């Protein structure tokens, strides 16, 4: 416990804490749309797809965001295009694309000396090495994502609930779908410094799922998901300091624990 | 766009040799007919015979069309704001976290516009629509906890909230309870009196007879487009449904499998 | 070209690696056709992530990796069967029960299992190197014993699939009919999940937990692009996997030997598979036009 308290005194830890709160909150809120549109597999796939972009970005000295987001978005569009071909079903298309992307990332990385160390940073995050510039980027990107979701909130919920109705009303349904996929992909990339690509799935699916156990309404669910995401980030970080284990892992596990508790409470309440 | 001298005389829907093909496969052909404002058209035919395609064409959601279609005196795309679509309730996810009130408000979204939130006037219209279908007290309930028939009524309320000039319904009477059937018939009759045209795909021939003044029989091509009593004859239904139409004594016809 | 294709394999370790790749490719191809029929790509992905903690813990404790992976996979299969069959009762929000849909549940399982693995591995020093070995495999270090294990387990899976072929196909194409005819639907589900899990487990040591999904999904998809019949697709997929696996492995060797660039062997194989799929897709599109 004293380790944790000591950590608070350290600058890097405080930065990590702020990052954890922001990433958790943004991912939690975006996660509600992942839930409403049944996108968990897409998120898992994208967590692989953004990987080569992140690798390229880092190798070229460009922001990880730019690299990950560009490749991730390109892949998202590719998946949408492939999915509309009738020969290949969605999940196969996603599986092929994701494994291919990951292989490219691994390939590029393996060609570099010192590959192993960098690899784990991408895959499982290294939140304790974030600097102020990273925080600013996260804050700005996070704000943009949340604004987009807020601006199109009612249309996005309608589109998730009744895509036919959305189109019948005259809205550009496919465009809105693509907007959501892009938002989710960018949110994924935002999570990379904190928890890495593979565990970003956790922040983008679990807090929203936990929030769902408490409420039936999308508005409160979003707020709760953001809160639970932020909480997972903070608690997870403290746990990682206390036990000297990877923060990405403890953050993901904290989120899961919060979900299990929520599910348990709901089941108990439903039975009584 | 060519419109009549008196706006009130323009048909709500005008179809002229309309055809739709997906790739090389023709799914709909030769649909011709008119629906006047306040008129009511039943789309009748077996599953996959083109009823949904015709509805999509009216909504302007189909690209490859031959022939002409005029909705409320203009193109389907331009008329869309004035046309309300009521899907079958069971196509929607009943686990979705949305309330009855929110569903009805969805009908107002186009008028509210992008980014803005629903205002007091919108909520008033939505409440009224919900009252009209007899579910005023259920506004705060989650959509999915209502029965199938009640959900169908909520979707009708959503359409009413749009204050449309043309109502499009896809099998609204399918598997619903008698209260819902009564409410639906009632509301549709009332809308018609206010000049709203109704186009409804249905399997239920007695409802079609009761609620509609015109019938369009489809089996990938138009078999008939005539006043309802003339359309619902055993011969024409036999052509439409093939072997699934059974003729009883006299001239009642029952459709067995659809 | 001959040198490219045959020289590497004069070396013992390369020869074993090639056998391993061909075995895994064939197994993955056949299993993969079933996975594609049932749209189980997500499940495969799930298993590939959930075996990670099993392997990580086994590695940390010093045990052989196969049992660790197998234990984790068995746990996953158990959860999956519970989720899909108990699905309707537990997870449709009909009280009592939490509100969780299948995809979300799978995502939670994947994330949490993987997190456990990460946490376990991070406790050791040299964490980064261990992590990448576990995640990306070490096909060039595969031992004779491991190749034999792959052959035995893989062979067993293929025999099971062959024996149950028509039942599994019926189940995939028309589930209600299968139940109506009296097939033990849940048991067959469990068998397929178990075979998929076994494939992942066996492949994971050589290929790593991250790239395994390609072995199960990509050659099978390529096979299905090339031919419509199910046995035909399996044969095509296996052939494609064997040939492309060979080429991928050779490319990795070639790069490191003659061009002084280290390219991870597992990755080159997966890229070869993906390019093969793209080529088949392009050919298919072109033939449609003709």
On the CB side of C212, CA atoms within 13 Å amount to 34
Interface mutation target, options B24, B94, B95, chain C, most CBs of C under 10 Å: B95
State the pLDDT at residue C79.
77
Backbone angles phi, psi at C220, to 5 degrees: -60, -45
State the Cα–Cα distance between residues B242 and B220, nearest whole angstrom: 12
Instruction: Let me know if residue B148 belongs to a domain.
Output: no
Residue C97 has pLDDT above 60, yes or no: no
User: What mean pLDDT is reported for chain C?
Assistant: 81
pLDDT band at C151 (very low <50, low <70, confident <90, very high): very high
Are the CB atoms for B44 and B217 separated by under 8 Å? yes
Total Cβ atoms within 10 A of residue B23? 7
Query: Domain with B34 in it: what CATH number?
Result: 3.40.50.300
State the pLDDT at residue B254.
62
CB contact under 8 A, A161 and B117: no
State the Cα–Cα distance between residues B195 and A47, nearest whole angstrom: 54
Our CA angle for C113, C118, C123, nearest 5°, is 130
State the pLDDT at residue B172.
92
Query: Which residues in chain A have Cβ-Cβ distances shorter than 8 Å to B162?
Result: 169
Burial (0-12, 13-18, 19+ Cβ within 10 Å), C99: buried
Residue ranges of C 260-289 with Cβ closer than 8 A to chain A: 261-264, 266-268, 270-271, 273-274, 277, 284
pLDDT tens track for C179-215? 888 888 888 888 888 888 888 888 887 888 778 888 8
CB contact under 8 A, A155 and B114: yes
Give the nearest chain C residue to B144 (CA atoms). Answer: C93
Domains annotated on chain C, with CATH: 2-281 (1.10.3470.10)
Instruction: Let me know if residue B133 belongs to a domain.
Output: no
Beta-carbon contacts below 8 Å between B and C = 5
The CA distance from A163 to the nearest CA of chain B, in Å, is 9
Domains annotated on chain A, with CATH: 2-271 (1.10.3470.10)
Residue B23 has pLDDT above 90, yes or no: no
pLDDT band at A233 (very low <50, low <70, confident <90, very high): very high
Residue C95 has pLDDT above 50, yes or no: no
CB contact under 8 A, A212 and B91: no
Query: Which residues in chain C have Cβ-Cβ distances shorter than 8 Å to A246?
Result: 118-119, 121-122, 127
Using the structure block, give the residue that is written with the tokens 């903070």.
Answer: A234
Can you say whether the dihedral through the CA atoms of C261, C266, C271, C272 is positive or negative?
positive
Q: Of A70-74, B143-147, C256-260, give the range with the top mean pLDDT.
A: B143-147
State the pLDDT at residue A225.
97
Q: Is A242 on the interface with B (CB under 8 A)?
A: no
Which residue among A154, A212, A218 places its CB closest to the CB of B109? A154
pLDDT band at C1 (very low <50, low <70, confident <90, very high): confident
Query: Which residues in chain A have Cβ-Cβ distances shorter than 8 Å to B142?
Result: 216
Interface mutation target, options B56, B98, B110, B138, chain A, most CBs of A under 10 Å: B98
CB contact under 8 A, A164 and B115: no
Q: What is the 3-state secondary structure (H, E, C) of chain B?
A: CCCCCCHHHCCCEEEEEEEEEECCEEEEEEEEEEECCCCEEEEECCCCCCHHHHHHHHCCCCCCEEEEEEECCECHHHHHHHEEEECCHHHCCCCCCCEHHHHHHHHHHHHHCCCCCCCHHHHHHHHHHHHHCCCHHHCCCEHHHCCHHHHHHHHHHHHHHCCCCEEEEECCCCCCCHHHHHHHHHHHHHHHHCCCEEEEECCCHHHHHHHCCEEEEECCEEEEEEEHHHHCCHHHHHHHHHHHEEECCCCCEEECCC
State the pLDDT at residue B9.
66
User: What mean pLDDT is reported for chain B?
Assistant: 87
Measured CA distances, A73 to A68, A78, A99, C141, C266 (Å): 8, 8, 16, 36, 25
Instruction: Let me know if residue B112 belongs to a domain.
Output: no
State the pLDDT at residue C43.
74
Count of domains in chain B? 1
Query: B115: closest CA among A141, A156, A33, A174?
Result: A156
Our CA angle for C117, C123, C124, nearest 5°, is 105
Which residue among A167, A170, A215 places its CB closest to the CB of B110? A170
Beta-carbon contacts below 8 Å between A and B = 65
Q: Report the DSSP beta bridge partners of residue B253.
A: B247
Residue ranges of B 9-68 with Cβ closer than 8 A to chain A: 59, 61
This complex has an ipTM of 0.83
User: What mean pLDDT is reported for chain A?
Assistant: 84
Residue B67 has pLDDT above 60, yes or no: yes
pLDDT band at A228 (very low <50, low <70, confident <90, very high): very high
Higher pLDDT, A115 or C158: C158
Which residue among C45, C122, C268 places its CB closest to the CB of A44? C45
Total Cβ atoms within 10 A of residue A43? 24
On the CB side of B31, CA atoms within 13 Å amount to 35
Structure tokens given for A199:
């565990």
- Neighbouring chains of B at 3+ CB pairs under 8 Å are A, C
CB contact under 8 A, C41 and A205: no
Q: Is A89 on the interface with B (CB under 8 A)?
A: no
Query: Which residues in chain B have Cβ-Cβ distances shorter than 8 Å to C90?
Result: none
CB contact under 8 A, A123 and C39: no
Strands B13-22 and B25-35 turn out to be antiparallel
Query: B28: closest CA among B59, B70, B56, B60?
Result: B56
Higher pLDDT, B85 or B48: B85
Residue B248 has pLDDT above 70, yes or no: no
State the Cα–Cα distance between residues A115 and C57, nearest whole angstrom: 23
Which residue among B81, B98, B168 places its CB closest to the CB of A161? B98
State the pLDDT at residue B90.
86
pLDDT tens track for B151-201? 999 999 999 999 999 999 999 998 889 999 999 999 999 999 999 999 999
Residues whose CB falls within 8 Å of the CB of residue C2, separated by 6 or more in sequence, listed in order: none
State the Cα–Cα distance between residues A206 and A162, nearest whole angstrom: 24
Can you say whether the dihedral through the CA atoms of B73, B76, B79, B82 is positive or negative?
positive
The arithmetic mean of pLDDT across residues C78-82, rounded, is: 74
Interface mutation target, options B74, B93, B106, B152, chain A, most CBs of A under 10 Å: B106
pLDDT band at B5 (very low <50, low <70, confident <90, very high): very low
Interface of B with C (CB under 8 A): 95, 144
Residue A219 has pLDDT above 80, yes or no: yes
Query: Which residues in chain C have Cβ-Cβ distances shorter than 8 Å to B95?
Result: 92-93, 99, 101
Residue B250 has pLDDT above 50, yes or no: yes
State the Cα–Cα distance between residues C133 and C147, nearest whole angstrom: 18
Q: What is the 3-state secondary structure (H, E, C) of chain C?
A: CHHHHHHHHHCHHHHHHHHHHHHHHHHHHHHHHHHHHCCCHHHHHHHHHHHHHHHHHHHHHCCCHHHHHHHHHHHHHHHHHHHHHCHHHHHCCCCCCCCCCHHHHHHHHHHHHHHHHHHHHHCCCCHHHHHHHHHHCCHHHCCHHHHHHHHHHHHHHHHHHHHCHHHHHHHHHCHHHHHHHCCCHHHHHHHHHHHHHHHHHHHHHHHCCCCHHHHHHHHHHHHHHHCCCHHHHHHHHHHHHHHHHHHHHHHHHHHHHHCCCCCCHHHHHHHHHHHHHHHHHHHHHHHHHC
Q: Of A257-271, B228-242, C30-44, C236-250, give the range with the top mean pLDDT.
A: C236-250
State the pLDDT at residue C127.
62
pLDDT tens track for A13-62? 889 999 999 999 999 999 999 999 988 888 887 887 777 777 777 777 76
Structural domain including B61 reads 7-91+165-255
pLDDT band at A226 (very low <50, low <70, confident <90, very high): very high
A176-185, A187-196, B211-220: least confident range: A187-196
State the virtual CA torsion across C167, C173, C174, C179 in degrees, nearest 10: 20
In percent, how much of chain C has pLDDT > 70?
89
How much is the pTM? Answer: 0.81
Instruction: Let me know if residue B60 belongs to a domain.
Output: yes
Instruction: Let me know if residue B147 belongs to a domain.
Output: no
pLDDT tens track for C3-50? 777 777 777 788 888 899 999 999 999 999 998 887 777 777 777 788
Query: Which residues in chain A have Cβ-Cβ distances shorter than 8 Å to B158?
Result: 165
């Amino acid at each position: 416990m004293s380790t944790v308290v000591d950590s608070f005194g350290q600058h890097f830890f405080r930065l990590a804490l702020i990052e954890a709160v922001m990433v958790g909150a943004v991912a939690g809120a975006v996660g509600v749309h992942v839930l409403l549109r049944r996108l968990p597999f897409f998120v898992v796939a994208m967590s692989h797809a953004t990987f080569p972009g992140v690798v390229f970005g880092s190798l070229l000295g460009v922001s990880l965001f730019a690299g990950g987001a560009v490749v991730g978005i390109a892949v998202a569009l590719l998946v949408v295009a492939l999915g509309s071909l009738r020969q290949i079903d969605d999940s196969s298309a996603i599986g092929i694309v994701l494994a291919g992307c990951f292989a490219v990332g691994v390939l590029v990385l393996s060609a570099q000396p010192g590959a192993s160390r960098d690899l784990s940073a991408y895959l499982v995050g290294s939140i304790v090495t974030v600097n102020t510039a990273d925080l600013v980027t996260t804050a700005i990107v996070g704000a943009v994502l949340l604004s987009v979701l807020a601006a199109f909130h009612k249309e996005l919920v309608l589109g998730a609930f009744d895509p036919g109705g959305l189109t019948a009303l005259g809205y550009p349904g496919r465009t809105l779908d693509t907007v959501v996929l892009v938002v989710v992909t960018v949110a994924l990339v935002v999570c990379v410094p904190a928890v890495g690509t593979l565990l970003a799935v956790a922040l983008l699916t679990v807090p929203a799922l936990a929030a769902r156990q408490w409420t039936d309404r999308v508005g409160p669910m979003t707020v709760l998901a953001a809160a639970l995401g932020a909480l997972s980030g903070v608690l997870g970080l403290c746990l990682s300091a206390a036990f000297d284990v990877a923060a990405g892992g403890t953050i993901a596990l904290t989120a899961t624990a919060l979900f299990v508790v929520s599910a348990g409470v709901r089941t108990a309440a439903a039975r009584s | 766009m060519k419109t009549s001298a008196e706006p009130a005389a323009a048909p709500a829907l005008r179809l002229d040799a309309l055809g739709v093909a997906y790739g090389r496969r023709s799914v709909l052909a030769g649909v011709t007919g008119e629906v006047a404002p306040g008129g009511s058209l039943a789309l009748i035919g077996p599953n996959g015979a083109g009823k949904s395609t015709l509805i999509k064409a009216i909504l302007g959601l189909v690209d490859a069309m031959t022939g002409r279609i005029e909705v409320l005196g203009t193109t389907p795309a331009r008329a869309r704001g004035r046309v309300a679509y009521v899907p079958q309730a069971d196509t929607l996810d009943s686990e979705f976290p949305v309330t009855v009130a929110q569903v009805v408000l969805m009908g107002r979204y186009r008028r509210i516009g992008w980014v803005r939130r629903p205002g007091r006037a919108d909520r008033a219209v939505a409440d009224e629509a919900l009252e009209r279908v007899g579910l005023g007290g259920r506004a705060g309930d989650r959509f999915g906890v209502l029965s199938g028939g009640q959900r169908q009524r909520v979707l009708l309320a959503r359409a009413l909230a749009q204050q449309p000039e043309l109502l499009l319904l896809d099998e609204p009477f399918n598997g619903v309870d008698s209260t819902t059937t009564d409410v639906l018939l009632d509301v549709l009759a009332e809308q018609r009196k206010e000049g709203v045209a109704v186009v409804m795909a249905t399997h239920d021939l007695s409802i079609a007879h009761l609620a509609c003044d015109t019938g369009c029989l489809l089996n990938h091509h138009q078999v008939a487009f005539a006043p309802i009593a003339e359309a619902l004859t055993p011969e024409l239904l036999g052509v439409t449904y093939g072997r699934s139409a059974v003729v009883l004594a006299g001239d009642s016809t029952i459709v067995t499998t659809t | 070209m001959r040198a490219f294709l045959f020289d590497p394999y004069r070396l013992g370790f390369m020869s074993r690696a090639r056998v391993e790749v061909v075995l895994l490719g064939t197994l993955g191809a056949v299993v993969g056709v079933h996975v594609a029929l049932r749209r189980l790509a997500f499940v495969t992905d799930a298993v590939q992530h959930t075996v990670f903690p099993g392997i990580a813990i086994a590695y940390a404790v010093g045990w052989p990796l196969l049992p660790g992976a197998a234990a984790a996979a068995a746990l996953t299969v158990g959860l999956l069967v519970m989720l899909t069959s108990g699905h309707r009762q537990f997870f449709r929000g009909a009280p009592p029960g939490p509100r969780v849909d299948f995809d979300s549940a799978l995502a939670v399982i994947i994330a949490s299992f993987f997190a456990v693995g990460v946490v376990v591995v991070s406790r050791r020093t040299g964490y980064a190197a261990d992590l990448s070995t576990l995640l990306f495999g070490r096909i060039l270090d595969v031992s004779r014993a491991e190749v034999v294990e792959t052959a035995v387990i893989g062979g067993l899976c293929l025999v099971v699939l062959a024996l149950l072929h028509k039942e599994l196909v019926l189940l995939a194409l028309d589930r209600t009919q299968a139940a109506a005819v009296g097939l033990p639907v849940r048991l067959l589900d469990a068998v397929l999940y178990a075979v998929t899990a076994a494939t992942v487990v066996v492949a994971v040591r050589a290929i790593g937990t991250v790239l395994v999904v390609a072995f199960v999904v990509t050659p099978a998809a390529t096979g299905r692009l090339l031919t419509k019949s199910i046995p035909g697709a399996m044969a095509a997929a296996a052939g494609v996997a064997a040939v492309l696996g060979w080429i991928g492995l050779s490319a990795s060797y070639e790069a490191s030997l003659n061009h002084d660039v280290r390219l991870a062997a597992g990755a080159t194989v997966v890229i070869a598979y993906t390019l093969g799929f793209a080529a088949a897709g392009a050919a298919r599109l072109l033939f449609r036009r003709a």
